Structure 1
């Protein structure tokens, strides 16, 4: 008798090639209508699955894991971040957690630069004005933005994405400055022309454009607090393609509305999909629906990583993208 295929429960719809291949490898339960799982559906999934494939919209906390069945041994997250999963609680129950790092580096870096350009040069504001019939002709002092060449770019988090953003920023002639938990190697600093700041506060005071590329952890929650936001120059622009929770969104919205900040380009939000109502009304803010990683190629590569992690684990080996609490 053939061995039973492991049951893999996928919480959201994935690209067709990924779902087709999963169906060949595993007994897979797909989410055909792509609805967000309720708490009850997640509880049923962890109770029945051998492998759970959640996404960042699924909150797998300790209470939910207490409802897990004896067969659940792997949570293969479809995403690079794992702040939606209580990794320590999973580890304590003998459940391995994996993610999909590295796949979305270039896509996220591209969108970061797009948000920098859109915010500095008022692209969305100008496009909206034209579509509303407000373009009455050119004028020397109308719709003035900020030049990127020579601007000081402050990067919080010099990992894969931070480095990719720095490489792109150099092409535009920007000065690259960064703050990171650990200083990168001299070789990388030289390659990127990057200046390291051990003190985040000191870097902020000298930053024209700030972009965030750190994960959301207890240590980074509201890393950009109201106090730190006020350290930025009044003309500074904030760009965030990381996680919304790393910024005090309410304080940032107040400062943008009061002219205490120059602008913002945001792809993530503290309480998404809810967005601070003030942000929705400001002309100096570019808002995107968490789409920095949204490319066909990226999503298929993410699915490939998920399947490799699952198959490697089922073969009795350590998955290549295992996440352990000490990494967070």
Structure 2
């Protein structure tokens, strides 16, 4: 993602139309904003946030909800007078230029009593020199897909402990509360949380299956049966195929899927030997169909999950596996105690 320019119109202290262009030179690709306090550096940064997410984080003592330039508001004051604030962001993503425009219209209800109307968001792009409009209702989805490119530069593997991510964000030289980046990305579905981990959002297997597969396609039907827990033999008998052919069909089809939510759990799946019930118990966010998807796409590990093997494991999900193992051991201890008590009662009753 390459940001080319941002234009502010009557946005806070920026009166009229003000455009800021950013360097796109690969050798000189840094643009520095210099200015004294209160001259608008924070406002420029907040304008990005408002354009992309529809929210801005201004100090409470500065009437943070009111975006219209005060000088313009005074000059145009009058019953039923109208005015507009907008921010336009032009960026390049995967070789295509996008124009993101968010507008906030205002109406004066009575000589300075400005009221914000419904904000408007539009996204367009240039393809072969022709500007095309993104379909209404699809704007935020397109924005979110572009912003994933930004987050992929911070969350390189797509997943990080929440504390570590917030620490990385806090080290960025920003003139506003850094955590707002994470909070807004979570609120808009760009990022997602799972057991104190933050990850770039992906479809689950079930969601992706509906998007990728045709329910009337034989390969899709075979995959559906397999992820519902049917054996290779039963599926083969149903479709008059060998077990190996069923396996080949499912493997080929799942490799057409993009990386999914369940792929975040491929690491412990390939490391430890966990049966379906154990794996879904350790990772309850993974549905049984998701486990079957992993079993098709990856080779299951051979190491039993024990305190000793977990101490050697350095992977992402160590904390969650440790909690699961502890809970399992406590449960086994309770069962053991219960059996002992039953034996004692039998012995006592015998006397």
Hey, which of these two has a bigger chunk of strand by percent? 2
The TM-score range, normalised by the shorter chain, is under 0.3
Work out which structure has the larger RCO, using CA pairs closer than 8 Å and 6 or more positions apart in sequence. 1
State TM-score, norm by structure 2.
Answer: 0.22
State TM-score, norm by structure 1.
Answer: 0.23
Structure with larger Rg: 2
